Amino acid sequence: MKFGIQINEGPYTHEASDTAYHFIKAALDNGHEIFRVFFYHDGVHNGTRLATPPQDDRNIVNRWTELAEKHDLDLVVCVAAAQRRGIADADEAKRNGKDADNLAPGFRISGLGQLIEAGVQSDRLLVFGD
């Protein structure tokens, strides 16, 4: 089965990000396909490279980066939600006159069309978080 995933919560706000991560790992381990992971609303905070959790805590951002690299996942951060929350890749930072970017490796910024495409191309679109 091919899944599209939407994550609406930040990495340390609720369990939505952890639950989505573990679901995706289990799905991939069982031969399913992940078409795209779309981070929306506060979920875009999963894509900041500046998150530095304590050493005894899980690093959810690094987990996403490693999972994307291992399985060639498409991790998409919503551009409008990211701009509202101060998350930018190099192009967005330059376009908006910012002096730095903070998008984590393995993530890319794009628009809602990517979420629509995930819904169309996937057998199921699962939403994690409010």
Q: Which residues are catalytic?
A: 78
Contact criterion met (CB below 8 Å) for 102 and 87: yes
Neighbour order of strands in the sheet with 124-128: 107-110, 75-78, 33-39, 2-7, 124-128
Euclidean distance between CA atoms 61 and 105, whole angstroms: 9
The amino acid sitting at 117 is E
Query: Strand (E) positions, 1-130?
Result: 2-7, 33-39, 75-78, 107-110, 124-128
